[in-house]
Amino acid sequence: MAAVKKNLVIILLSFAISRLILTEELTVDPTLTEILHVGLEGEVKLEASELEAVSLDFGRLSSKGEALAVVRPASADDVVRVVKAAYNRPPFAVSARGHGHSINGQADTRMKGVVIEMGRGSRVNFLPRVYENEMYVDVWGGELWIHVLKATLEYGLAPMSWTDYLYLSVGGTLSNAGISGQTFNHGPQISNVFELDVVTGKGEVLTCSEHHNSDLFHAVLGGLAQFGIITRARIALQPAPQRVRWIRILYSDFSTFSKDQEFLISLHGKPARQRFDYVEGFVIVDDGLVNNWRSSFFSSSNPVKISSINAEGGVLYCLEITKNYHQGNDDSADEEIQALLKKLNFIETSLFTTDVGYVDFLDRVHKAEVKLRYKGLWDVAHPWLNLFVPKSRIEDFDKGVFKGILGNKTSGPILIYPMNKNKWDHRSSAVTPDEEVFYLVAFLRSAVDAETLEYLSNQNRQILRFCHDSKIKVKQYLPHYTTLEEWKDHFGDKWTQFNAMKMQFDPQRILATGQRIFDFEPSTVISKDDM
């Protein structure tokens, strides 16, 4: 009966479009007709409001998407049907959208096509399936990490590696890398995946892993959604702690700060009692953010001023670290923390500690989101810039950017923390600097008006220009470029393989056109010169 009703809806929609053509002399793209006749179990949305909604993302920096329809799938089969329809000539673009948390319209369609809402709005009934003995969980590609966490915790388990914000889709973070303060120890999220189901640009469903269809497996991980749409991911699990001792300490000298961070991530091979479980940091360039930092962690009484700490160059650096433990093991956790802190050279009077539940710590950014939404400060432009900076040039970056370009106006947090390259699988599509240790520097700013947006965007351009002129070989994380030459430079030695995988798994170049990597007509053949 459901199938009959669905077919009836399709017929009625097709009839309505035909009437529009006859009565209003409108030109309707054949893409719509193609979509309406593929027999979807889910929903097809054609309303202007729906199309406008998928043209905006978290960055709010681009609204140039050309979506003709929004599909809310009821299953992986729906994804297959849409991609197969798109692959048939004349081809049209297909973009998978998770939580819409991209910055520069990466989930848009840059040529007329369809957006598949894999997360919010999808009709998929695929709850996380935890395999307790095997220590992994199978999840829908559009599932949010917060839901994965809650499902696995029912078995006392949790994924190993996280992002700082849990309201992101699994497919979205795996298409980039998925990083946070656990990356130094467990690697990025793409290093903690056992298996994927992927709908390629040909509309084929392929299960891939380290040992089966491995070329697709490694290409998709960090592949910016260029080779297929992840419909299922098998994520590695570990026993979950119950509590987190959360510590923040300050530094006035960057060299000391970076050496301590690098020392802490060098302990990644040690037993858990001899290392911290999370290592991040951030930069503070004005008094206001010092107090925001403290009030978000403790009471805002007894405010701190940069001037009172004699910060070098007017900049402070905060090291953020955690120790996981189980209820009842407080004393041993304290002993382990004290032993590690004795090896660090922070400002002793700046030590602040709190104790929270494991979920409370992992979901900390969402609490800030709730506050910002209440103040109307969440749905604003976010001109973010995320860079991987090689360790050998991080002090030059500090002098030129933190103590130079930024001035004292940041408009949001600036994260900085190091990672170990040997925790990244070089076979993935993700790109990092060619040094064993490199830093993430993330400028996570917000612009409440056009003037601030222009100021911060110009500042981002200055930072990139400084790196170029100073020959600091940074790599963008969540990259955004507008020309093929820039993308070739970004991928470097990986470009040949990346392009070959595109030709093999998405020869019509219909997937993820919002990334603007292969931003030309789908009928154009990629020349050997581009390989």
HSE-up of residue 482 (Cα within 13 Å, Cβ side): 2
**Mean pLDDT confidence for 236-249:** 97
DSSP 173-205: HHTT---STTHHHH--GGGSEEEEEEEETTS-E
Q: Which residues pair with 387 in a beta bridge?
A: 441, 476
Nearest of 80, 69, 153 to residue 114 by alpha carbon: 69
Q: What is the pTM of this model?
A: 0.90
- Report how far residue 184's alpha carbon sits from residue 436's, in angstroms, rounded to the nearest whole number: 11
Q: What is the pLDDT of residue 112?
A: 82
Radius of gyration of the chain (CA): 24
Q: What is the pLDDT of residue 42?
A: 92
Q: Which of 81-90, 213-222, 293-302, 404-413 has the largest mean confidence?
A: 213-222
Q: Is 336 helix (H, G, I), strand (E, B) or coil?
A: helix
Angle at 502 between CA 497 and CA 503, to 5 degrees: 100
Q: What is the pLDDT of residue 120?
A: 74
Q: Say if CB 411 and CB 452 are below 8 A apart.
A: yes
- Report how far residue 249's alpha carbon sits from residue 42's, in angstroms, rounded to the nearest whole number: 50
- Report how far residue 146's alpha carbon sits from residue 149's, in angstroms, rounded to the nearest whole number: 5
pLDDT at 367 over 70: yes
- Report how far residue 211's alpha carbon sits from residue 454's, in angstroms, rounded to the nearest whole number: 48
CA distances from 310 to 46, 95, 368 (A): 59, 50, 29
State the DSSP H helix or E strand holding residue 51, giving kind and residue range, or none if neither: helix 48-53
pLDDT digits 0-9 by tens, 116-128: 999 877 888 899 9
pLDDT at 17 over 60: no
Phi first, then psi: give them for residue 36, nearest 5 degrees: -70, -15
- Report how far residue 441's alpha carbon sits from residue 155's, in angstroms, rounded to the nearest whole number: 35
Q: Which residues pair with 159 in a beta bridge?
A: 237
Q: What is the pLDDT of residue 291?
A: 55
**Mean pLDDT confidence for 147-172:** 97
pLDDT at 27 over 70: no
pLDDT at 7 over 60: no
Q: Which residues are annotated as catalytic?
A: 101, 164, 280
Q: Measured in Å, how far apart are the chain's first and last C-alpha atoms?
A: 51
* Position with higher pLDDT, 22 vs 513: 513
pLDDT digits 0-9 by tens, 384-420: 999 999 999 999 999 999 999 998 777 789 999 999 9
Q: What is the pLDDT of residue 301?
A: 54
pLDDT digits 0-9 by tens, 160-198: 999 999 999 999 999 999 999 999 999 999 999 999 999
pLDDT at 278 over 80: yes
pLDDT digits 0-9 by tens, 43-89: 999 998 998 888 888 888 876 667 899 999 999 999 999 999 999 87
